[in-house]
Amino acid sequence: MKQYKRSFRFVLGGEDRKIAEELLALQGFSWEQENFFSASCRLVEEPFSLGSSLAGFFGLIYIQDRASMLPPVALAPRQGSFVLDMCASPGSKTGQLAQIVGEHGFVVGNEVSPPRLATLRRNLQQMGLFQAASCCFEGQRIALPDGFCEYIQLDPPCSGWGTVEKNPKVLQMWKEEKTLPLVSLQKELLKNAARMLKPDGVLVYSTCTTNIEENEEQVRFALEELGLELEKLPVLPEFVMDEPLLGMEGVWRLSPRMGDTQGFFVARLRKKTGEIFCGEEEKIWGEPLSRGYVRELGISEKYLEYGDIAVFKDSLHFVPHQAKKLPQNFAWQGMYMGKAGKLREIQLSPRVRMAGDLPCVQFEGRDGIEKIKGLLSGQSLACDYKEKNVLMAWNGLVLGRLKVKNKRLVWSER
């Protein structure tokens, strides 16, 4: 049996996770459970690319290096809280943080690059994380008020020396003399993070490099210049940690270990003093759909417990209730849910898994897997449904929505 060291995490929990596990196992995959984060697993058998599995296609799992999962574990935001991820794409940590805070929480992932922002938004939608939103600012100029954030994740651009296994040329590309602009940017990002943090708020600073100037020396800058305090992180038996540098006990420092994990650095910082943002009256952006219209779309009203579904010009997005506390001039976007045409003619994305009062096509076992694969490859199935859309489920787990065309079921993302 060939052993694999690739890591991934399940996006779903509870009974839904059990069904996702069965789906993955029937396609030939096996894995080992990790202890440091309950959703994290390591592959044992990978008969074909994990990303091409049905669980990967429908966002039931997310492929992520195990060391990359450490910063959200270190931040440990409480359920229902607000988190800002300052440098978010492709969305690995943003999605993980959204899992941690739960459906009543709210995570905003920021990404300055428009192409990378599109990747972030696509990944969050694929995972169905409606409690996550996105914005597009230079991290050092994110214009949230002083003392607004209870939790901040800062994983800034870095030299990436810890990714040498995947990127063998990284040490040549980022020699020490070339890292000075990165070090300067990291300081600016830290300054803005400290400004936005509430008193007693928590900031996790992390990088995928082993360069002391981008790691321990930046933490020392935060301690000496920004008034933050270092909090000691617990020992994790699953990881081989390096000895701390600069006498900085309580940080996580990992060197890259071939076939095991990439290099990473993680530090947890707390702000003790400062101003608290007092808040404003709640505001709603866009035009929220009525409960009746939500039902007509085949979406359960229970999701309105977490936020509104609103039309923004020509598209439909989810608006978490906590988002209404963001400043009026702060531009952001909730999870994309579909297109909105004239006379509120809405076409939901087939990836909207929010099950409501619609017929549901149930697929089961290996035969069901083959039929779903056929639909994804452009095949269709005969049906007698009069509705324009129906839900698609495997063993009771809703995966998405199928269109009904000429008495045929089709999968279409157009």
Radius of gyration (C-alpha) of the chain in whole angstroms: 22
**Contact indicator for 316, 309 with CB cutoff of 8 Å:** yes
Active site residues: 208
Give the 3-state DSSP-derived string for 353-408, with helices as H, strands as E and coil as C: CCCCCCCEEEECHHHHHHHHHHHHCCCCEECCCCCCEEEEEECCEEEEEEEEECCE
Alpha-carbon span 206 to 372, nearest angstrom: 40
Residue 359, token pair as written in the block = 């017929």
Compute how many other C-beta atoms are within 10 angstroms of the C-beta atom of residue 145: 17
User: How far apart are the C-alpha atoms of 51 and 149, rounded to whole Å?
Assistant: 34
On whether the CB atoms of residues 60 and 14 are closer than 8 A, the answer is: no
Q: Which two tokens stand for residue 157?
A: 């651009």
- The answer to whether residues 91 and 161 touch, using CB atoms and an 8 Å cutoff, is no
Q: Are residues 108 and 83 in contact, defined by beta-carbon separation less than 8 angstroms? A: yes
Tell me which residue of 163, 160, 144, 161 sits closest to 152, measured CA to CA: 144
156 upstream amide cis, omega within 30 of 0: no
Amino acid at the residue 98: A
